[in-house]
Amino acid sequence: MRTRRVGASGLEVSQLGLGTMTWGGDTDLPTATDLVTTFVGAGGTLVDTAPAYGGGAAEQMLGRIMRTTLNREDVVLATKAGFGVRDGHQVIDTSRKAMLNDLAGSLRRLRTDHVDLWQVHAWSDTPLDETLAALDQAVRSGMARYVGVCNYIGWQIGTAATWQEAVPDRNRLVSAQVEYSLLARRAEIEVVPALKHHEMGLFAWSPIGRGVLTGKYRTGTPRDSRGGRKHFSWFVEPYLEERSRAVTDGVARAAEGLGLTPAQVALLWVRDAPGVTAPLLGARTTEQLQAYLGLDDVRLPEPIIAALDDITGGPNQGRAPAHRVDADA
C-alpha cells in the first residue's frame, strides 16, 4: 500500500487507515486481530482509536494485539482525548488535567510508552490555550510524537493552528480528522481550505457514508447492519433520507459500469480527493476490509468523478484533473 506524508510534517502513514470505533462492541478480539493483521499484511500502517471507543475496550484490544501478534513498530498509532461517556452521558472535557489523564490511560491500555499521533477529540468550552498546552506537554514528555485535532470546523482549525504557529516552541498541528464522504462534503467549504493553508493533513472518517454507500440500505435496513442495531441506528439514520438514496443509486450505477463495488467507488472518491491524507475504514469484518485493499493502482475515471461531484453538490473546487490517471478497474 502506498504511503502519504501528513501535511508538512515528517509523519508518514498508509493512504488508508483502520478505524476501531466498533471494537469492544460489535467487534470482538479475534475479529479485531484478524482485521489488524490483514491490514498490516497489505502494507497498512495507520490505526486510529480513542478512549471513548468501547469505553476503553478498543485500546485494550489493540494493546493486546500489538503485544501478542504484531510489533509496536508495525503501526502508526493514533488516539484521542477529551471525549467520553460518564454515567451514561457524553462528556467533552479538554482541560489540561482531563487530556493528560486520558493520555496516561491510553498508554496504559495500549501497552506502549508513546503514540504517534495524539488528537483532541472535540472542541469544548475549555480555554483553547489550555487544551493546546496539554498537547505541547505530551510531545515534550515523549508520550506523543505528533498532535492534531478531530471534528473541528474551519475557524476552529484556523484558530488552533495559528496559536501553535505563533511561538517557536509550540508543536504545530499536523492533521485534522473530520467526516468526509459523498454524503458529507461540508468539509470542502472551510475545513479543507484551512488545512491547506496551515499545511495539515486530513483524515476522513466514515468515507463510505456511515455504511450507507455500500448500497445495503437501498431496499431496507438489514438486521446485521449498523442501522439495524439499536446502539448504532442513530449513527446511520441521518443518511437514510431521499437525497441520500439518489446519491447511493448514482454510486451503484458507477460501480456497475466500472466492475467495482459501490463501497469501493465511494472510497476511491474520498481517497483521491484534494487534501485527503487517508480515509479511515470502519470495517467490522475481514471480508469488508479486504474489499478495500489492493486498490493502489485503481483510479476513478474523470467523467465518473465529475458525475459523482454533480449529484452530491457540485464540482470540488480543489480537484485538479491533470493529476488524475484513469485506470482499468
Query: 53, 152, 180, 292: which one is catalytic?
Result: 53
Cell numbers at residue 46, please?
495507520
Q: What is the mean pLDDT of residues 173-187?
A: 97
pLDDT in the model for residue 85: 79
pLDDT above 60: residue 306:
yes
Look at residue 248 and tell me if it is in a domain.
no
Q: What is the mean pLDDT of residues 149-173?
A: 97
pLDDT in the model for residue 322: 40
Look at residue 56 and tell me if it is in a domain.
yes
The whole domain housing 269 covers 3-208+263-299
Pairing label, strands 46-48, 17-19: parallel
Look at residue 34 and tell me if it is in a domain.
yes
DSSP string, 94-152: -SHHHHHHHHHHHHHHHTSS-EEEEEE-S--SS-HHHHHHHHHHHHHTTSEEEEEEES-
Look at residue 281 and tell me if it is in a domain.
yes
DSSP string, 163-231: HHHHSTTSPPEEEEEEE-BTTB-GGGTTHHHHHHHTT-EEEEE-TTTTTGGGSTTTTS--TTSGGGSTT
Look at residue 132 and tell me if it is in a domain.
yes
pLDDT in the model for residue 232: 63
Look at residue 310 and tell me if it is in a domain.
no
pLDDT above 70: residue 329:
no
Distance of alpha carbon 192 from alpha carbon 157, whole angstroms:
10
pLDDT above 70: residue 164:
yes
**CATH number, domain with residue 148:** 3.20.20.100
Q: Between vectors from CA 151 to CA 319 and to CA 105, what angle results, nearest 5°?
A: 130
pLDDT in the model for residue 182: 97
Could you tell me how far CA 22 lies from the centroid of its own chain? 13
**292 among known catalytic residues:** no
pLDDT above 90: residue 279:
yes
Q: Are residues 139 and 109 in contact, defined by beta-carbon separation less than 8 angstroms?
A: no
Confidence of residue 328 (pLDDT cuts 50, 70, 90): very low
pLDDT in the model for residue 192: 98
Q: What is the mean pLDDT of residues 267-288?
A: 97
Look at residue 318 and tell me if it is in a domain.
no
Q: What is the mean pLDDT of residues 218-231?
A: 57
Confidence of residue 223 (pLDDT cuts 50, 70, 90): low
225-276 confidence digits (pLDDT tens): 554 455 567 778 888 888 899 999 999 999 999 999 999 999 999 999 999 9
Domain count, the chain: 1
Look at residue 55 and tell me if it is in a domain.
yes
Q: What is the mean pLDDT of residues 208-228?
A: 73
Q: Tell me if residue 14 falls in helix, strand or coil.
A: strand
Distance of alpha carbon 18 from alpha carbon 37, whole angstroms:
11
Beta-carbon contacts of 113 under 8 Å, excluding residues fewer than 6 positions away, are 107, 142, 143
pLDDT above 70: residue 109:
yes
pLDDT in the model for residue 219: 58
Q: Count Cβ neighbours within 10 Å for each residue of 296-327 and write b for 16 or more, e otherwise.
A: eebbbbeebbeebbebbeeebeebeeeeeeee
42-60 confidence digits (pLDDT tens): 999 999 999 999 999 999 9
